[in-house]
Amino acid sequence: MAFHLRSVSLPSKRLSNEAEVEAQLQSLEASISSPSATIESTCDGLRRLGDVYSHIEEIIHLPSNQVCSIQQRKRKVVEEELDRSLILLDLCNAMQQSFLELKAIVQEMQLDLKRGDNVAVQGKFQSYTRSARKVQKQFKKSTIHLLSKQIVMPNGSKWSLVSKAFHKKKIVCEEEQLQVLESDIVDIESGVETLFRTLIQSRVSLLNTLTL
């Protein structure tokens, strides 16, 4: 009876079983992979994925799951989840390194714009494009393709760094766009870092269940 009362008192939003977790992940995948996805929705998606892992940790700590965790079937599920989370951790590490590269390129482009060095800007933009494509490949390794829609070559109507000459007014506009791009990268990077920390905590809880 005590356990029943405790279960009823759990927050309504808590994911209570594997089916609900899977449904949440499917919903998240559909949201982030949408062609109309934005930087904001991507950051929100990272937060929501972190929430899913937090809910998984809560499920692990439920008394019923503590007892069942010693069963062979449950042990296999835990071990599989540990493997999946390790892959996602590696992906987070790769993304963090790529974000550093992208931010460095954007900062170099900002300096080149201020100097009026159009040739250097064009070269840096090509470097940005190559780095962004590398990031896309990293993201596609994730089963939910979290950020693959976001780190792409900017729209040609807003970015004419390669095809057009710069005038003073034009340079100001491009500098503002670079600042926005840099801010967007930082926002996504922050989301990845939060997810990374959540994954670490989740792995600790999963490992603890194997020692029961």
171 in a domain, yes or no?
yes
196 in a domain, yes or no?
yes
- pLDDT band of 136, cuts 50, 70, 90: low
Task: Give every CB contact of residue 96 below 8 A, 6+ residues apart in sequence.
Answer: 189, 192, 193, 196
- pLDDT exceeds cutoff 50 at 1: no
**pLDDT tens digits, residue range 157-195?**
333 333 343 344 444 546 677 777 777 778 778 878 888
1 in a domain, yes or no?
no
Residue-level pLDDT at 116:
79
164 in a domain, yes or no?
yes
Residue-level pLDDT at 112:
80
- pLDDT exceeds cutoff 50 at 65: yes
9 in a domain, yes or no?
no
Distance CA 203, CA 212 (A): 15
Give the global pTM.
0.59
10 in a domain, yes or no?
no
Helix (H, G, I), strand (E, B) or coil at 25: helix
**pLDDT tens digits, residue range 2-41?**
333 334 444 444 445 566 777 777 777 676 666 666 666 6
- Burial string for 164-197 (b: 16+ CB within 10 Å, else e) reads eebeeeeeeebeeebeebbebbeebbebbebbbe
8 in a domain, yes or no?
no
Mean pLDDT of the chain: 66
The conformation of residue 34, written as its DSSP 8-state character, comes to S
- Asked if 127 and 105 count as a contact pair (C-beta separation under 8 A), the reply is yes
3 in a domain, yes or no?
no
Residue-level pLDDT at 72:
63
**What's the number of domains the chain is made of?**
1
Q: Which domain holds residue 129?
A: 15-210
